[in-house]
Amino acid sequence: MVEDQAIEIAEIFHLLGDPTRLRIVTCCLEEPRNVGEIAETVGVSASLVSHHLRLLKATRLVRADRRGKQVFYVAADEHVQKVLKDMMDHVAEQHREAP
Amino acid sequence: MVEDQAIEIAEIFHLLGDPTRLRIVTCCLEEPRNVGEIAETVGVSASLVSHHLRLLKATRLVRADRRGKQVFYVAADEHVQKVLKDMMDHVAEQHREAP
DNA sequence: CAAACGATTGAACATATATTCAATTATTTG
DNA sequence: CAAATAATTGAATATATGTTCAATCGTTTG
């Protein structure tokens, strides 16, 4: 892997590498969720959610869609879902090896 | 996703979220590589590689195997490979959408 | 056993980053 | 138009983190 690829891919991993941000992404993985919903589900302030969503949107991990006063966010594409699934498999495997 | 899972999974993403560390992992993805090889391939000091490998080993993303004076490291299991592959697909897709 | 080699460790430092709080911007509705 | 609701923004801050450098540890070999 060359430097440029590494930087680009690492940037995405880095975004998923924060617990709050990861929960925000998984929260709007199945269907679009507005900021208030996400904040309540994750258990943090709307302000913090908004800050994180700005980063996620900038790297196109989520897309925004305003409907009236609310803004709905949804995870970008199916690759993210696959990545998350593989990672959950990895963690599950770990636990099977060392319970 | 519950808090505990998020923290555990985010921890792994976080490790892959640094360009240097990501390149270290990909460097010993196919076959075991010793610290010197990794340092040269990635283009950083052996000291830095060692620091990063300590973190990667602690989270069991790599395994260590000493042979004489050298210590060989190899990526832990196939899930990591799948995660990386999906992420590369994601990046490739992005570039196809916005060249 | 001493020298050489490879790898690890710890301290130090500059930088990046997650979070909070208050202020501001959009949009709807009374 | 004013009030209310939802979301964004910016500044401030405490903490985490990547990197460097020098010292140390483990192993082999002359």
Residue B9 has pLDDT above 90, yes or no: yes
> Could you say which nucleotides of strand C lie within 7 A of any protein CB atom?
5-11, 17-23, 26-28
- Average pLDDT score over chain B: 93
Residues pairing with B75 in the sheet: B62
Task: Tell me the residue type at A19.
Answer: P
Does strand C come within 7 Å of the CB of B51? Answer: yes
* Maximum C-alpha span of chain B: 50
Amino acid A44 reads: V
Could you read off the pLDDT of B62-75 as tens digits, one per residue? Answer: 999 999 999 999 99
Beta bridge partner(s), residue A33:
A73
Write out the residue range of the structural domain in which residue A22 sits. Answer: 3-97
Nearest to B83 among A7, A10, A86 (CB): A86
Query: What pLDDT digit, counting tens, does each position of B11-36 carry?
Result: 999 999 999 999 999 999 999 999 99
Chain A interface, best mutation among B56, B94, B96, by max A CB count within 10 A: B94
CA angle, corner A57, sides to A52 and A59, nearest 5? 105
Question: pLDDT category, A99, cuts 50, 70, 90?
Answer: low
Q: What is the CATH number of the domain that holds B61?
A: 1.10.10.10
User: Each residue of A42-84: pLDDT tens digit?
Assistant: 999 999 999 999 999 999 999 999 999 999 999 987 788 889 9
Domain total for chain A?
1
B90 contacts on A by Cβ (under 8 Å): 12, 77, 79-80, 83
Whole-number Å distance, CA B48 to C1' D19? 7
Angle at A52 between CA A46 and CA A54, to 5 degrees: 100
Q: Strand C within 7 Å of which CB atoms in A 74-93?
A: none
Give strand pairing partners of A62.
A75
Closest CA to B57 of B42, B72, B78, B36: B72
